[in-house]
């Protein structure tokens, strides 16, 4: 598959990029990261009303625009470049993805339109304090309770979990182990028995919460206990979208380094004229282009339901993890002392890079995942 | 040109091939037919063995040739760089004299640019050509010359003026390799192969009519030759296949190809043979080791990403987009891939990595990888030069202050380097 | 000086301490005694609070002090750089006025060298000092100034001549920080700490008698200050201990130390906290993963080799051998160690690496490591500058052509950088 | 332990270095590597007669000079720097070491003096075609035969095995497995039933042979079947000595790169004045100094019978493996095209580096060994 964006896709990218230049300058990022909610309601509304970004990849039947994962990847890449503070990843990618993969058409029709319009915001609660992201690690239990269900347990690392209207929870049936007995349930953000606390995170531009469920009423998504395949597919979506976001951030670090080193003078020269600086930037460019290619390949594999998609997604996440952090660290280095100050913007991306590196499994984890696919 | 014309053209080509193609003709006879008819290089001008067609259409014709298995004109080696350069910069005398025998493959060519004293710095050439009133007299040395030992002619870049800045004192010539003043010696590499030559000139002669560029304007012409070098490499690849059919002409072509490809037989090893990594890791059982899996994975991520990046560049070009940075990154990526592959092959082979030849893994192929890979980051421009190019041309970063802008005579340079 | 003299000296020191040391004196009272007696800085000249002893002997005396737990003169912070500089380059007026209160710790000092526009390039300072006929008038900005917010005096490097090459137009002053023309603002770092300050000068005043170097000769004096910076750092370390005994003087010293050490409290995290790696890998169970073991091993190999290399350098010096390259390599090695440590801490922490503060591993210490390590390869000279120094001074490689040798006025520089 | 060489040790190093400058110019290295024997008998004699190098670390009681492993390390470092073609490593380090560790005083007194004087040359045959170097991997069998013993099996990677007068063989008692039942035996180089063939090796400056034993008469070294501890100790000697040799070679690569880049002009400048070149050399220096420190630490730990010695030896071998290859590859790179030619000397060290990297276990293997010591 020789990947190239269509002209329409490139135009779409430009529209998204322009919107973000207007709505997400770093002054805004800095303002919002100091708030608990961590996003601006008005910008969120515009992003959905004007561009319909939350709907981009959702089937038209459920209020979406019915584009492919390639378009979703474009959105994530631009969001990562601009570091927009908004619940897009948590709601449009994770929550909507879980509902699309796990729910039947009734639940989809019931839940997706509101997420597609951005009118409601969803969050995904899979990972628990153990930090793992696989079905076997889930201990939270879902038990029958008359006609409905109740959730009992603790979730952590829930992106925007403290502000979401709707929580999609992965839980297991009592007595089940491993992949068996795990499936998704939906819980109202303000449900009785649900307590949500904001976590202190390295990356203040993306909020995470710890959720505690005490006998919380929930509705099943799909057949209770048989959601492992949906979770597996959702993981592929998640790391592919994250990889796209990460290469967008890495590109921003490269652009920033190239720009600054041509402004900065030392020893009577632009520091960008020193070979050590030029070669570091050249290496960054190679690094970033390779990681981008991997992210694009993974996104188009998903768009085409390529069976290689899980391997390619892990490949893309591993590449993006190493590349983004290196690019951010190099960008700080090329800024010199100023790059280590709070007032310089570089650390905002550095912290996103560091946090994204560990999110949904680090590079070593995904290299191993990839090799499991290609072992034989 | 429209679809219809393309269809018409394919039809004409098919008709012509039906009428003339015969695998039992001699290679030269057939290629002379191609030259006379214009079907051999349809994108060349009508007055010079072509049909003046745009390149895309000429590709359609190549497909018709492939269809019936018809052999094409001689494409491989430096000869196509010579042809492209002469077509663009040569006078009619030079075209008349050289182009046809390039197409028939009767003449082999070599490129005389690099020197011991000027590798990264091509324009720093010190091989001199002095006009003695009747002809040019050449003295000096070139190196890294592929096929020089059987080449009939050489594309020579020589210094004709020492009192101007280095790029302005060079002149571009065609040199007859078959003369007493030219000595060719093989240059052995650390991997034992001798795919290149050193060429020594002692009062070698060039008649005035074999001067290609105006005096002092050779660098511009050399740029043309270098620009075609990449495409040349591609031609080489496509040329490599299409050699397993029966008929006298195929045998002759196979012999020609074998001679031309000989110097390149270790190039796959130089690139690291990523294709061998997974099979080797499985056979040796090393793939069971999670640490080995991590290293294999790092290599595959690098190699696949590099491949996708190259495809992305081509795809964008085919869509008529301005070439993005991806293009110029390929060579640098290849160095990383080759180095990483050598590392992983060593890791997989364990103690066997110490063995070579018949005693070594894969009958010495692994050992050849290990001692060939260092060439990847040097040949055709070192990684350091590539990074300069990427930083300056792709990222638009400022150049370094230059020390070599004055008259070449005064520029510090290597004395008797070799 | 012989063994015997050393023994004699130790005896004298012990006798003097028996007679005068009393933990219930005030810190300043005691240190004035030390200054009057010469026992506080025995390696200083007799006329300036010392005994004119060679450094090795003064170390013997330090040991006697440690023996009875006697507090020494104020050593930590920039003040010792100030003292060393004034002793070497100051006139009697300056020594008379400043040295004693440096020793007693009554005065705190800061170093006003780095500027927003000149970090790697210290000699490119653009803070100006102009003589108005009565005193020097200072305008400009300094940055990365530790303790400026509570310093009484600053060591200032300012440009007094713009028409000569940059190193020749600087003058070295002592600046009174307590005046309207001096504004100190904290400088917050990406890890949230604010251990440095920016210092702004608006017509700040310096009386002529506070000029340390001759006009235009400030760079030479600054070199002395910088040369003492390493030793200063050592003093800091040794000073850090010896603060858990009872008595008024210890409490006063503890308070003094706390103030001085405050800006440095994140430095261990900046260095990567290699000490935490094995314990963390065990507690989390990650050490069971062979891939994690490889990464931990790579880090430990790097860290231990760096430590041994530093020891090797010191041991060689103690044997009176010429210092080998090992010395100058320490800082570059520290950058590699810190980066590798951050990588491994991330690998070990998994998802927890995303959490900071009370929610983060080790109560936020891991997070502080991850966001502090980038400073290691920048602070006190970037890795790039270190590599230049190593290549030129240790390996003796040729310098790059310089663009900044003309009159400073004409040297391209940052305009209004900050 | 703060390691520093004594003045005597530094003087000793100078003497060895001077001898090697005279006797092992690269013209000699190139001449000898083309021969099957791979060394010059006369130089070997001088090295022993004039400097007594084979005797350096052998106890005086057995005809040696009784110095420590630190002095042996100095010799190996200088040999590695000069790339001397001689059976020093095989005879003085490996064979003599095996005899010293495994033999009783009678066998020591019987065998060591001739090796110490260089009059006889020994070789060590432990590794078999499987390439492993641990006791468990040994399949070669030693069986009683009347008063004596017989060896049956195949050994490979035997350094100088085709020219040695005396072969020290590791073999196991019939029916034994793992570490048990393994011990050393000595076999005459010209023994009946022993066939020796020279192997083709990447590094032509150090010869290796495949040895096939068919019912070959042998004398035991120490108690038959209980040599595992001696083998374990010998491995520590071997990798420590090899690490010393490797850092010597790495230093030579650095010296060569620094020298050449100051001679070579491009673009009107010494290429050594380009930042890219300077910084690469600075990194090489750091790398080499760190690896040296590790090698010195390991050697002095052995000299002091420090229980940490095995861990430190593995650390030193891992460091040397990465450093030597990197230094050799960088040295080729800094030479440009000329560095890839046969006539340039760099490849001689590059091939030694590549071969040493794989010898006695690669860097990954020794990092794991090291961590086993430090795991708890």
Give residue-wise pLDDT tens across range B14-51: 999 999 999 999 999 999 999 999 999 999 999 999 99
Residue in the block written with tokens 């991330």: C346
Region class of D66: left (phi > 0), else alpha (psi between -120 and 50), else beta: left
Indicate which of C330, C385, C391, C399 best probes the interface with D, i.e. most D CBs within 10 Å of its own CB: C391
Q: How far is D283 from chain A (nearest CA, A)?
A: 13
pLDDT confidence of residue B180: 97
User: What does DSSP assign to residue B392?
Assistant: I
pLDDT at C239 over 70: no
Q: Contact C114/A203, CB-based, under 8 Å?
A: no
D156 and D127 Cβ atoms separated by less than 8 Å: yes
Other CB atoms within 10 Å distance of the CB of residue B69: 15
Q: Contact A203/C354, CB-based, under 8 Å?
A: yes
Length reported for chain D: 376
Average pLDDT value for residue range A69-79: 98
Residue in A closest to D274 by C-alpha: A275
DSSP string, A32-54: HHTSSS-S-HHHHHHHHHTT-GG
User: What does DSSP assign to residue C214?
Assistant: P
Q: Which residues pair with A258 in a beta bridge?
A: none
A111 and A50 Cβ atoms separated by less than 8 Å: no
pLDDT confidence of residue A2: 56
Interface of A with D in 276-315 (CB under 8 A): 276, 279
Which of chain A's residues have a Cβ under 8 Å away from the Cβ of D280?
A: none
Beta pairing class for C109-112 and C153-159: parallel
- High-pLDDT (> 90) share of chain B, %: 80
Nearest to C417 by CA among A264, B305, B176: A264
pLDDT confidence of residue C324: 60
Higher-confidence residue of C155 and B321: namely: C155
D329 and B343 Cβ atoms separated by less than 8 Å: no
Higher-confidence residue of B225 and B59: namely: B225
Which of chain C's residues have a Cβ under 8 Å away from the Cβ of D289?
A: 309, 325-326, 329
Least confident residue range of A160-164, A232-236, A346-350, B403-407 = B403-407
D169 and D185 Cβ atoms separated by less than 8 Å: yes
Other CB atoms within 10 Å distance of the CB of residue C405: 12
Interface of D with B in 232-291 (CB under 8 A): 263-269, 274, 276-277
Positive/negative CA dihedral, A342, A346, A351, A354: negative
pLDDT confidence of residue C59: 84
Q: Check if C285 contacts D (Cβ < 8 Å).
A: no
Indicate which of C290, C402, C411 best probes the interface with B, i.e. most B CBs within 10 Å of its own CB: C290
* Structure-token pair, residue D87: 């059976």
C98 and C89 Cβ atoms separated by less than 8 Å: no
Show which residues of B are catalytic. Answer: 229
Q: Measured between alpha carbons, how far is A166 from A118 in angstroms, rounded to an integer?
A: 12
Indicate which of B308, B317, B331, B381 best probes the interface with A, i.e. most A CBs within 10 Å of its own CB: B308
Out of B293, B329, B398, the one facing A286 most closely (by C-beta) is B329
Which of chain C's residues have a Cβ under 8 Å away from the Cβ of D374?
A: 278, 300
pLDDT at B358 over 70: yes
Q: Contact D319/C305, CB-based, under 8 Å?
A: yes
Average pLDDT value for residue range A325-329: 98
Residue in the block written with tokens 């005490």: A214
Average pLDDT value for residue range C401-414: 90
Other CB atoms within 10 Å distance of the CB of residue C320: 6
Other CB atoms within 10 Å distance of the CB of residue A100: 23
Report pLDDT digits (tens) over B244-275. 678 899 999 999 989 888 999 999 999 999 99
Report residue C205: phi and psi, to 5°: -110, 140
Q: Check if B298 contacts A (Cβ < 8 Å).
A: yes
Q: How far is C319 from chain B (nearest CA, A)?
A: 41
pLDDT confidence of residue B418: 37
Q: Contact A275/B333, CB-based, under 8 Å?
A: no
* Structure-token pair, residue D248: 């010597």
Which of chain C's residues have a Cβ under 8 Å away from the Cβ of B291?
A: 290-291, 294
Q: Contact A286/B311, CB-based, under 8 Å?
A: no
Q: Measured between alpha carbons, how far is C259 from C74 in angstroms, rounded to an integer?
A: 13
Size of interface A-C (CB pairs under 8 A): 136
Nearest to D91 by CA among D40, D142, D144, D164: D164
Residue in C closest to A332 by C-alpha: C374
Out of B319, B332, B398, the one facing A4 most closely (by C-beta) is B319
Q: Check if B151 contacts D (Cβ < 8 Å).
A: no
Which of chain C's residues have a Cβ under 8 Å away from the Cβ of B295?
A: none
* Structure-token pair, residue D280: 């690469």
Output the average pLDDT for chain D: 97
Average pLDDT value for residue range A172-188: 97
Out of D131, D269, D329, the one facing B352 most closely (by C-beta) is D131
DSSP string, C30-71: HHHHHHHHS-SSTTS-GGGTS----HHHHHHHHHHHHHHT--
Q: Contact A276/D275, CB-based, under 8 Å?
A: yes
User: What does DSSP assign to residue B217?
Assistant: B
Q: Measured between alpha carbons, how far is A5 from C41 in angstroms, rounded to an integer?
A: 73
Report residue C342: phi and psi, to 5°: -60, -40
Q: How far is B290 from chain C (nearest CA, A)?
A: 7
* Structure-token pair, residue D325: 């290859």
Q: Contact A268/C374, CB-based, under 8 Å?
A: no
* Structure-token pair, residue A321: 């993890």
Output the average pLDDT for chain B: 92
Query: Does the annotation count C229 as an active-site position?
Result: yes
Other CB atoms within 10 Å distance of the CB of residue B330: 16
Other CB atoms within 10 Å distance of the CB of residue D246: 31
Quote ipTM for the complex: 0.96
Indicate which of C312, C320, C337 best probes the interface with D, i.e. most D CBs within 10 Å of its own CB: C312
Average pLDDT value for residue range B400-413: 90
pLDDT confidence of residue B227: 84
Least confident residue range of A174-183, C407-416, D88-97, D257-266 = C407-416
Q: How far is A271 from chain D (nearest CA, A)?
A: 12
Average pLDDT value for residue range C57-86: 92
Positions of E strands within chain D: 122-125, 141-145, 148-159, 166-172, 182-188, 194-198, 208-221, 265-266, 269-270
Residue in B closest to C294 by C-alpha: B291
State the pLDDT confidence band at A233, using cuts at 50, 70 and 90: very high
Q: Contact D276/A274, CB-based, under 8 Å?
A: no
pLDDT at C417 over 60: no
Average pLDDT value for residue range D13-42: 98
pLDDT confidence of residue D2: 56
State the pLDDT confidence band at C139, using cuts at 50, 70 and 90: very high
pLDDT at B2 over 90: no
Secondary structure of residue D201 in the 3-state scheme: strand
Q: How far is A364 from chain C (nearest CA, A)?
A: 8
Least confident residue range of A319-328, B136-145, B234-243, C13-22 = B234-243
Least confident residue range of A36-50, A60-74, B233-247, C149-163 = B233-247
Contacts of D142 (CB under 8 A, 6+ apart): D149, D150, D151, D169, D171, D172, D173, D183, D185, D218, D220, D224
Which of chain A's residues have a Cβ under 8 Å away from the Cβ of C347?
A: 362, 364
Size of interface A-D (CB pairs under 8 A): 8
Interface of C with A in 35-74 (CB under 8 A): none
Which spans in B289-325 are helix H?
Answer: 290-318
* Structure-token pair, residue B382: 């070192």
pLDDT confidence of residue B232: 52
Average pLDDT value for residue range A347-373: 97
Which spans in D264-274 are helix H?
Answer: none
Q: Contact D318/C309, CB-based, under 8 Å?
A: no
pLDDT confidence of residue B235: 46
Which of chain A's residues have a Cβ under 8 Å away from the Cβ of D266?
A: none
Q: Contact C353/A358, CB-based, under 8 Å?
A: yes
pLDDT confidence of residue B327: 59
Contacts of B91 (CB under 8 A, 6+ apart): none
End-to-end Cα, chain D, rounded Å = 22
Q: Which of C3, C29, C209, C229 is catalytic?
A: C229
pLDDT confidence of residue B237: 45
Q: Measured between alpha carbons, how far is D290 from C325 in angstroms, rounded to an integer?
A: 11
Q: How far is A265 from chain D (nearest CA, A)?
A: 17
Question: With 0-12 CB in 10 A as exposed, 13-18 as middle and 19+ as buried, what is B315?
Answer: middle
Q: Cα Rg for chain C, rounded, in angstroms?
A: 24
Positions of E strands within chain A: 122-125, 141-145, 148-159, 166-172, 182-188, 194-198, 208-221, 265-266, 269-270
Beta pairing class for D208-221 and C109-112: unpaired
pLDDT at A303 over 50: yes
Which of chain C's residues have a Cβ under 8 Å away from the Cβ of A339?
A: 374, 378
* CA B351 to chain centroid: 36
State the pLDDT confidence band at D274, using cuts at 50, 70 and 90: very high
pLDDT confidence of residue C321: 73
* CA distances from residue C118 to A171, C121, C123, C143 in whole angstroms, order as listed: 58, 5, 7, 10
pLDDT at B290 over 90: yes
Indicate which of B286, B288, B294, B402 best probes the interface with C, i.e. most C CBs within 10 Å of its own CB: B294
Report pLDDT digits (tens) over C368-378. 999 999 999 99
Q: Measured between alpha carbons, how far is D64 from A77 in angstroms, rounded to an integer?
A: 70
Which of chain A's residues have a Cβ under 8 Å away from the Cβ of D275?
A: 274-276
Higher-confidence residue of C247 and D16: namely: D16
Which of chain C's residues have a Cβ under 8 Å away from the Cβ of D369?
A: none
Inter-helix orientation angle D363-374/C290-318, to 10°:
80
Nearest to A280 by CA among D275, B327, C302: D275
Q: How far is B368 from chain D (nearest CA, A)?
A: 9
Q: How far is B151 from chain D (nearest CA, A)?
A: 22
D290 and D235 Cβ atoms separated by less than 8 Å: no
pLDDT confidence of residue B320: 75
Residue in the block written with tokens 């040395």: B141
Nearest to D280 by CA among D301, D316, D256, D254: D254
pLDDT confidence of residue A3: 74
Q: Cα Rg for chain A, rounded, in angstroms?
A: 21
Nearest to A249 by CA among A5, A9, A6, A26: A26
pLDDT confidence of residue C234: 46
Residue in A closest to C350 by C-alpha: A358
pLDDT confidence of residue D4: 86
pLDDT confidence of residue C418: 37
Q: Which residues of C78-111 are buried (b: 16+ CB within 10 A; e: fewer)?
A: bbbbbbbbbbebbeeebbebbbbbbbbbebbbbb
Report pLDDT digits (tens) over D123-136. 999 999 999 999 99
Q: Contact A267/C358, CB-based, under 8 Å?
A: no
Which of chain A's residues have a Cβ under 8 Å away from the Cβ of B302?
A: 290
Nearest to C382 by CA among A340, A136, D261: A340
Report pLDDT digits (tens) over B185-214. 999 999 999 999 999 999 999 999 999 999
């Amino acid at each position: 598959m020789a990947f190239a964006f269509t002209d329409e896709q490139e135009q779409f990218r430009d529209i998204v990029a322009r919107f973000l230049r207007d709505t997400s300058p770093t002054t805004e990022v800095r303002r919002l990261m100091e708030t608990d909610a961590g996003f601006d309601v008005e910008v969120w509304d515009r992003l959905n009303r004007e561009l319909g970004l939350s709907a981009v990849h959702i089937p038209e039947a459920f209020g979406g625009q019915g584009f492919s994962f390639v378009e979703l990847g474009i959105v994530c890449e631009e969001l990562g470049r601009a570091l927009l503070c908004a619940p897009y990843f948590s709601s449009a990618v994770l929550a909507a993805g879980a509902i699309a993969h796990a729910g039947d058409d009734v639940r989809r029709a019931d839940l997706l339109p509101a997420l597609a319009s951005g009118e409601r915001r969803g969050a995904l609660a899979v990972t628990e304090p153990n930090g793992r992201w696989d079905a076997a690690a889930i201990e939270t239990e879902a038990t029958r309770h008359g006609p409905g269900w109740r959730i009992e347990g603790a979730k952590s690392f829930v992106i925007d979990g403290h502000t979401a209207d709707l929580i999609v929870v992965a839980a297991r049936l009592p007595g089940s182990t491993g992949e068996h007995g795990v499936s998704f349930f939906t819980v109202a953000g303000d449900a009785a028995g649900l307590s949500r606390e904001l976590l202190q995170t390295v990356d203040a531009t993306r909020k995470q919460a710890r959720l505690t469920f005490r006998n919380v009423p929930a509705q099943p998504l799909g057949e209770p206990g048989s959601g492992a395949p949906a979770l597996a597919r959702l993981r592929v979506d998640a790391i592919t979208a994250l990889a796209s976001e990460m290469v967008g951030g890495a590109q921003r670090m490269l652009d920033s380094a190239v720009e600054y080193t041509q402004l900065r003078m030392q020893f009577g020269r632009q520091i960008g004229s020193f070979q050590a600086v030029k070669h570091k930037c050249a290496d960054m460019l190679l690094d970033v282009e390779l990681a981008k290619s991997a992210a694009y390949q993974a996104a188009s594999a998903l768009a085409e339901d390529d069976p290689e998609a899980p391997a390619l997604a892990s490949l893309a996440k591993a590449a993006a993890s190493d590349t983004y952090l290196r690019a951010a660290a190099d960008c700080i280095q090329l800024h010199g002392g100023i790059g280590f100050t709070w007032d310089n913007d570089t650390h905002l991306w550095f912290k996103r890079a560091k946090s994204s590196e560990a999110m949904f499994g680090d590079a070593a984890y995904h290299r191993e995942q990839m090799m499991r696919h290609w072992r034989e | 040109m429209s679809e219809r014309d393309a269809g018409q053209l394919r039809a004409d080509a098919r008709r012509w091939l039906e009428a003339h193609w015969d695998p039992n003709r001699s290679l030269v006879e057939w290629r002379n037919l191609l030259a006379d008819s214009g079907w051999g290089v349809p994108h060349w001008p009508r007055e010079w063995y072509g049909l003046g067609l745009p390149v895309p259409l000429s590709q359609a014709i190549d497909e018709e040739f492939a269809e019936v298995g018809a052999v094409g004109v001689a494409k491989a080696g430096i000869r196509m760089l010579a042809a492209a350069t002469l077509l663009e910069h040569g006078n009619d005398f030079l075209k008349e004299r050289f182009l046809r025998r390039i197409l028939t493959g009767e003449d082999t060519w070599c490129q005389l640019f690099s020197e011991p004293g000027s590798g990264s710095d091509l324009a720093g050439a010190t091989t001199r050509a002095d006009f003695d009133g009747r002809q040019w007299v050449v003295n000096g040395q070139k190196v890294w010359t592929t096929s020089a030992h059987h080449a009939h002619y050489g594309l020579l870049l020589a210094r004709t003026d020492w009192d101007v800045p280095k790029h302005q004192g060079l002149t571009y010539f065609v040199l007859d390799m078959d003369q007493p003043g030219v000595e060719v010696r093989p240059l052995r590499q650390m991997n034992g192969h001798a795919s290149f030559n050193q060429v020594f000139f002692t009062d070698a002669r060039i008649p005035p009519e074999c001067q290609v560029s105006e005096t002092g304007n050779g660098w511009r012409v050399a740029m043309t030759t270098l620009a075609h070098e990449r495409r040349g490499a591609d031609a080489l690849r496509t040329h490599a296949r299409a050699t397993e059919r029966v008929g006298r002409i195929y045998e002759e072509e196979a012999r020609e190809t074998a001679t031309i490809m000989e110097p390149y037989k270790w190039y796959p090893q130089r690139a690291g043979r990523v294709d061998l990594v997974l099979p080797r890791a499985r056979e040796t059982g090393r793939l069971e080791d999670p640490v080995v899996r991590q290293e294999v994975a790092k290599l595959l991520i690098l190699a696949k990403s590099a491949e996708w990046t190259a495809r992305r560049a081509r795809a964008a070009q085919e869509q008529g987009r301005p070439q993005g940075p991806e293009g110029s990154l390929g060579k640098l990526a290849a160095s990383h891939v080759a180095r990483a592959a050598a590392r992983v092959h060593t890791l997989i082979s364990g103690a066997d990595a110490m063995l070579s030849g018949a005693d070594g893994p894969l009958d010495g192929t692994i050992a050849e990888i290990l001692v060939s890979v260092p060439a990847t980051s040097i040949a055709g421009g070192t990684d350091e030069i590539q990074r300069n190019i990427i930083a300056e041309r792709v990222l638009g970063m400022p150049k370094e202050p230059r020390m070599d802008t004055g008259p070449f005579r005064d520029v510090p340079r290597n004395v008797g380097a070799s």
